[in-house]
Amino acid sequence: MSDLTALSAVQLIAGYAARDFSPLEVTRAALDRAEAVQPKVNAFVRLNAEEALAQARASEDRWRRGAPTGLVDGVPVTVKDILLQRGVPTLKGSWSVREEGQEWDEDAPSVARLREQGAVFVGRTTTPEFGWKGVTDSPRHGATGNPYDPARTAGGSSGGSAAAVALGAGPLSLGTDAGGSVRIPASFSGIFALKPTYGRVPMYPASAFGTLAHVGPMTRDAADAALLMDVITGADPRDWSQLGPVTGSFRDGLSEGVAGLRIAYSPTLGGQVEVDPVVAAAVRRAVERLAELGARVEETDPPLPDPVEAFHTLWFSGAARITQHFSEEQRAALDPGLREVCEEGLRASAVDYLAAVDVRMALGKAMGDFHRDFDLLVTPTMPTTAFEGGVEVPAGAPNPRWTSWTPFTYPFNMTQQPACSLPCGVDGDGMPVGVQLVAARHQDALVLRAAHALYAAGVADIPGPAMAAGPGGAWSGVAGATPAGS
C-alpha cells in the first residue's frame, strides 16, 4: 500500500469508491503522522483520536453500503483553534479563554458543513492568540515550527493548519485569513490556500476583525480546495453578511486552463516592496509558465497604494474590542505584542475607523476598475521565505509589527477579493516560495482554475519536507509539540 498520508482528498475519495483502502485505515495513518510530527512542529493543540476513529468507522460502514453521506465522507480534516467545533474547546491560543464551565456545543458554519458531509475531525490546529499576527506562537500553546525546518516559523496565523497539511496529518484544513493568515503559512510551508471572496464562506461568530476576516481552505492542491469550497460555502442563517447561494460547483471548469486570460504581473507592487531575488525569480518563472499556457501576460502594477495605516486602524481596533472587558490579570497574561496593539486600538476614534473604511472603499473601487482590464493579478505571496521562529518580524524589519513583511497579502483583505497562494519553487536552503493569484470579487472559481493549471503544468512540484518521508521517501508536506488533549 502506498503512503496514505501522501494522498489528496480527491484521491482518497476515489480510493474509497474503488475499495482500495478504507476511511479507518486512512484516519489511523493521519493520526499516526500527527502524533509523530507533533513534538517537532507543534501543529496541534488537541488531537481527537477517539472521536476521529469513531467517525472513520461510521464512514467505512457507509462506503461499504455504497451510501457515502457527502463529498468528503471519511476524509481526515483539521480545524484551526479559532473556529467553533462541537464537543471540544476553542481556546484561541489564549489563557483568557476558560476551558471548563462552557458547553462547547456549537459548530462554526464551515465546521457544520464538513460534519454534515462525513468529514473525520483529526484535531485542532495551533494559532497565535486570537489569530492576531502573521506567525504562529502564543503564551498558551507555544510556537509552531516550519515543516521544512522547525527552527523557522510556519507563518500564521493559520500556521498549525499549514503544518498539518504539509506533513500529512489530513489533506484538508480550515483556516482563517484577515490579513494573509492562510496565504502566509501556505507560502512558507509549501501548500495551497485560498482566501475566498468575503462572505462566500459563512462565518459565525463574527470576527472581531470584522469584514477583513475570511474562512478559507488549506489543502494539498487547488483541486482539493475546489472540493472543500463545494462543502463549506453552504448557507448558514447565523451569518447576516454571507453571499447568496453558489451556482454550480467550484470543480466545474477547473481544467479549462488559462488560455486567453488577461494577466497582470506585478513583481513589487510598483516598487513598494523589496523582494528577495530568489523569490522574485521563482515567481517570474511561474508567470512565464502562464504565458506558455496561453495567457496574455503584461507586467504592470495595480492602483494600490500601501493601505497599512488604514489596515492598522481596523486591525488594532478589532484586537482592542476582543480584550475590551479583560481584567488587569487577563491583560498581563496576553502576548506582549497583542497587548501593545490593543492599547493602540483603544486610542482610535470612531472617526478614525470610518476614515479607514473610506480607504477600503476607494481601494475596492480602484481594484474593481483594474479588473475590467485584467482577469488576474499575479504577485509574490511573500517577499521572502520563512525566517526564524518565535519572533513577530525577521531581523532587519522596518517596524516591529507583522505587517512590515506581509505587503502582498493584507491589501486584498481590505478589498475583499479572492486570493490564493501556491508553491512555485524553493530557495537555496530548500524553503518554499509562494506565488499569489488575485481576481475580482466573486471570481473564486477563476482563481482556482488558474492555480489548477499551474499545478497541472508542474509549477508547484517542489521537494517535500523530510519529516513527511513515507516508506518510499519524501513526498510533499508535514510538521508538530505534545497535544494539549486527546
**Catalytic positions, written as ranges:** 80, 157, 181
Cell of 116: 454534515
CA distance 197 to 200: 6
| CB-side neighbour CA atoms (13 Å) of 277 | 1
Instruction: Report d(CA 482, CA 45) in Å as an integer.
Output: 8
- Sign for the CA dihedral angle at 142, 478, 152, 342 comes to negative
Q: How far is residue 398 from each of residues 340, 346, 395, 404, measured CA to CA in Å?
A: 17, 24, 9, 6
CB atoms within 10 A of CB 468: 25
Peptide bond into 205 cis (omega under 30): yes
E strands in 232-328: 262-265, 296-299
Nearest of 463, 88, 433 to residue 283 by alpha carbon: 433
C-alpha R_g of the chain: 21
Grid cell in block for residue 445: 472559481
Beta bridge partners of 195: 419
- Select from 426, 146, 461 the least CA-distant residue to 283: 426
- Give the pairing type, strands 419-426 and 432-439: antiparallel
CA pair distance 39, 185, nearest whole angstrom:
19
**Residue 450 to residue 461: CA distance in whole angstroms:** 16
Question: Would you say 39 and 258 are in contact if contact means Cβ atoms under 8 Å apart?
Answer: no
Residue 245's Cβ-count burial label (10 Å; 0-12, 13-18, 19+) is exposed
Answer for the pair 471, 4: CB distance below 8 angstroms, yes or no: no
Could you give the CA distance from residue 299 to residue 377 in angstroms, rounded to a whole number? 10
Q: Which three cell numbers stand for residue 67?
A: 451510501
State the sign of the Cα–Cα–Cα–Cα dihedral 231, 235, 240, 242: positive
Give the separation between CA 182 and CA 434, rounded to whole angstroms: 12
Phi-psi region of 218 (alpha: psi -120 to 50; beta: other; left: phi over 0): beta
